[in-house]
Chains A and B, each alone.
Chain A
Amino acid sequence: EAGVTQFPSHSVIEKGQTVTLRCDPISGHDNLYWYRRVMGKEIKFLLHFVKESKQDESGMPNNRFLAERTGGTYSTLKVQPAELEDSGVYFCASSPRQAKRETQYFGPGTRLLVL
């Protein structure tokens, strides 16, 4: 079974540019989560999809971040325009819907550097 995949693995962009991160969850997983770790901080929750619906987006830092999950399969996280403080590692995780407090399976992350 393929794990959670993320693309790209690394991205270097200039301040003001747009970047789109992609996450492919494990096949059949309804739940999809985005997290990020910025420099010197702990990993923090951004948002949670159940299929194509946003269940909880309380962690999104501001309106420069837009997440989508059309069709309930893969998800994209767009940052527009990117700022220096957006640099960090963005993780995606997925989980099936059946169990309560189920294990989340994390992807390897996308390392974003904004110059």
Chain B
Amino acid sequence: DAKTTQPNSMESNEEEPVHLPCNHSTISGTDYIHWYRQLPSQGPEYVIHGLTSNVNNRMASLAIAEDRKSSTLILHRATLRDAAVYYCILSTTGNQFYFGTGTSLTVIP
């Protein structure tokens, strides 16, 4: 009953851009979209979040579809340190996080 769906795995070559997709067709008007990533033996780490407009920060960009039913996390130049599981998450008005199953990103040197 996950609210977001993501591909199980993706690969990217080092120093190339990576586009990680997420579908959230049941999103409500007040739900925020968050992306976190998780390295082995660590907890999830914040990457980026947004509501309606595209967002950029030093780590990544978030592109949100106009109907908000999907979003894409963009890593502009993948490095080996970006290899992780990336979670697309919806947060409700109570700030409860609904995690997807995550995409395992492999970066190929």
* Contacts from A to B (Cβ < 8 Å): 4, 31, 33, 35, 42-45, 48, 55-56, 58-59, 91, 93, 95, 101-109
Q: Pick the residue among B42, B97, B98 that contacts A104 (CB under 8 A).
A: B97
Q: Let me know if A56 and B43 touch, CB within 8 A.
A: no
Q: Pick the residue among B45, B49, B96, B102 that contacts A106 (CB under 8 A).
A: B45
Q: Pick the residue among B49, B95, B97 that contacts A35 (CB under 8 A).
A: B97
Number of A-B contacts (CB under 8 A): 55
Residues of A within 8 A of B36 (CB): 106
Identify the closest chain B residue to A40 (Cβ): B101
User: Shortest distance in angstroms between A42's beta carbon and chain B's nearest beta carbon?
Assistant: 5
Q: Let me know if A103 and B46 touch, CB within 8 A.
A: yes
Complex formed: what's the CA distance from A108 to B8 in Å? Answer: 22
Q: Let me know if A107 and B43 touch, CB within 8 A.
A: yes
Residues of A within 8 A of B49 (CB): 101, 103
Residues of A within 8 A of B43 (CB): 4, 91, 93, 106-109
Complex formed: what's the CA distance from A91 to B46 in Å? Answer: 14
User: Shortest distance in angstroms between A48's beta carbon and chain B's nearest beta carbon?
Assistant: 7
Complex formed: what's the CA distance from A38 to B96 in Å? Answer: 18
Q: Let me know if A45 and B98 touch, CB within 8 A.
A: yes
Identify the closest chain B residue to A47 (Cβ): B96
Q: Let me know if A42 and B46 touch, CB within 8 A.
A: no
